[in-house]
C-alpha cells in the first residue's frame, strides 16, 4: 500500500472502487456496466445487514483498517448521517472474509483520472 506523509499523519489510498472513468461517455457506460458486480456484491450484503451500500463500504474499510478514520466527503446532511450510521454496522469475520474473497475475484474496469492530483502537497 502506498503511504505518504501529510504533516504528522500518514495517509494511504484505500477503498472499494466501484466506478471507472475513461475518456468518452461510451467508455464510461461500458465501465459502469462492467463494474456492476461490485455494486451487486455490496448491495447483497447491505440487504442482509439492513444497511446502505455506503454503510457497508465504510464498515468493510473499518474492519480491514481498524486504526484508520475514514473521512467521507459530503455537503448533503442525509449522506453525512447515513455515513455516520456505518459505525453501527459490524461485519463478522465471516462476512468480511466473504467480501474479501468476492472482491479478490473481481476486476475493476476503467481508471481514475488524476490519481496523483494534489500529491505535490504531500511530503
Provide the 8-state DSSP code for 111: B
Do the domain assignments include residue 123?
Answer: no
Q: How far apart, in whole angstroms, are the C-alpha atoms of residue 80 and residue 72?
A: 8
Closest CA to 41 of 17, 10, 14: 17
Do the domain assignments include residue 3?
Answer: no
Q: What is the pLDDT of residue 4?
A: 55
Tell me the per-residue pLDDT of 34-66, one tens digit each, with 9 for 90 and over. Answer: 999 999 999 999 999 999 999 999 999 999 998
The number of folded domains in the chain is 1
Q: What is the pLDDT of residue 36?
A: 94
Tell me the per-residue pLDDT of 59-86, one tens digit each, with 9 for 90 and over. Answer: 999 999 989 888 888 888 999 999 999 9
C-alpha cell at 78: 442525509
Range of the domain at 105: 14-115
Do the domain assignments include residue 2?
Answer: no
Q: Give the list of residues 6+ apart from residue 62 with CB closer than 8 angstroms, or none.
A: 68, 70, 86, 87
Closest CA to 41 of 90, 103, 117, 119: 103
> Can you give the pTM of this predicted structure?
0.69
Amino acid at each position: 500500500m502506498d503511504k505518504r506523509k501529510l504533516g504528522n499523519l500518514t495517509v494511504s489510498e484505500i477503498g472499494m472502487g466501484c466506478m471507472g472513468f475513461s475518456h468518452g461517455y461510451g467508455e464510461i457506460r461500458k465501465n459502469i456496466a462492467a463494474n456492476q458486480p461490485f455494486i451487486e456484491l455490496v448491495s447483497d450484503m447491505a440487504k442482509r445487514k439492513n444497511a446502505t451500500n455506503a454503510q457497508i463500504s465504510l464498515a468493510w474499510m473499518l474492519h480491514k483498517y481498524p486504526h484508520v478514520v475514514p473521512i467521507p466527503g459530503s455537503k448533503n446532511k442525509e449522506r453525512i448521517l447515513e455515513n455516520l450510521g456505518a459505525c453501527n454496522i459490524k461485519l463478522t469475520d465471516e462476512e468480511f472474509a466473504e467480501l474479501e474473497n468476492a472482491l479478490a475475484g473481481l476486476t475493476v474496469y476503467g481508471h481514475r483520472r488524476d490519481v496523483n492530483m494534489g500529491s505535490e502537497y504531500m511530503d
